Amino acid sequence: PPSSSAIPDLALEPEYVWEMSKSFSFSFVIKAFPEPEVVRVISMVNDISRTEEKNKDVTITKSSKYDGKDYLTKFTFTVIRTLDMNDKDRTFKMTFESSKFKRDLQFIIRPRGPPQPVTNITTVDITHNSVKIFWFAAFNGREQQYFNVEYRHFTESPKPKTIKVKTATQIGKYPNISSNSFFAADLSKF
């Protein structure tokens, strides 16, 4: 049965990121003999599936005998239709078929674009002079994320203090919080 090659930069990855303002296209090599065809592409997001029509929604070009080998076929997959945030986390399933086999291979796409808000901000520990908070960052587009954690005492100066952190899921300890004071924190990506 067909499988993704182990060729660097040409393996079929489980996940791809697309720039939201650009078209989405990538190439990959499939290891199979006899040479397969992509006979169908279906995509799904939020439990709703659709058939991706060739030459209307997607194009798939094929080059036989990649690197001179009969069992390697290079494909280029391009989405023609305009992708937007409704396509976030869309899974594409391609059906490969030849005279000897039929197999589905799939991948998911995620957008790289404006930062999304963090979720699940939770206080995990409070002591007499510190607080630890935890959060989940939105998808990072495979880039390192940095956050400003801005905090201030309601009972002290209105000027906030800022700590910069750089992990997607963070437990941060914010010291020097006096006892019997209110604490407010603002978490933003920069």
163 and 83 together in one domain:
no
Band the pLDDT of 190: cuts 50, 70, 90: very low
15 and 95 together in one domain:
yes
Q: What is the CATH number of the domain that holds 45?
A: 2.60.40.10
How far is 174 from 181, CA to CA, in rounded Å? 14
Strand 131-136 and strand 119-126: the pairing is: antiparallel
Residue 152 pLDDT more than 70? no
104 and 62 together in one domain:
yes
Task: Find out whether 50 and 42 touch, Cβ atoms under 8 Å.
Answer: yes
97 and 130 together in one domain:
no
13 and 77 together in one domain:
yes
Residue 172 pLDDT more than 60? no
80 and 36 together in one domain:
yes
Domain boundary among 112, 140, 171: 112
Q: What is the mean pLDDT of residues 33-42?
A: 96
And the tokens for 71? 């069992």
Domain count, the chain: 2
Residue-averaged pLDDT of the chain = 80
Domain boundary among 69, 90, 112: 112
16 and 98 together in one domain:
yes
Domain that includes residue 32, residue range: 3-112
Which pLDDT value is given to residue 157? 60
Which pLDDT value is given to residue 170? 44
Domain boundary among 82, 97, 112: 112
How far is 185 from 169, CA to CA, in rounded Å? 16
Only one residue has tokens 């029509």, namely 53
Which pLDDT value is given to residue 6? 86
User: pTM of the full predicted structure?
Assistant: 0.65
Q: Closest by alpha carbon to 165, among 150, 184, 147?
A: 147
36 and 10 together in one domain:
yes
DSSP conformation class of 139: P
Which of residues 32 and 142 earns the better pLDDT score? 32
pLDDT tens per residue across span 121-143: 777 777 766 677 777 766 666 56
38 and 55 together in one domain:
yes
User: Sheet harboring 72-79: ordered strands across?
Assistant: 3-4, 24-31, 72-79, 58-63
107 and 182 together in one domain:
no
How far is 55 from 57, CA to CA, in rounded Å? 6
Which pLDDT value is given to residue 171? 47
123 and 92 together in one domain:
no
pLDDT tens per residue across span 45-100: 999 999 999 999 999 999 999 999 999 999 999 999 989 888 989 999 999 999 99
Q: What is the mean pLDDT of residues 142-154?
A: 65
136 and 53 together in one domain:
no
Task: Find out whether 96 and 39 touch, Cβ atoms under 8 Å.
Answer: yes
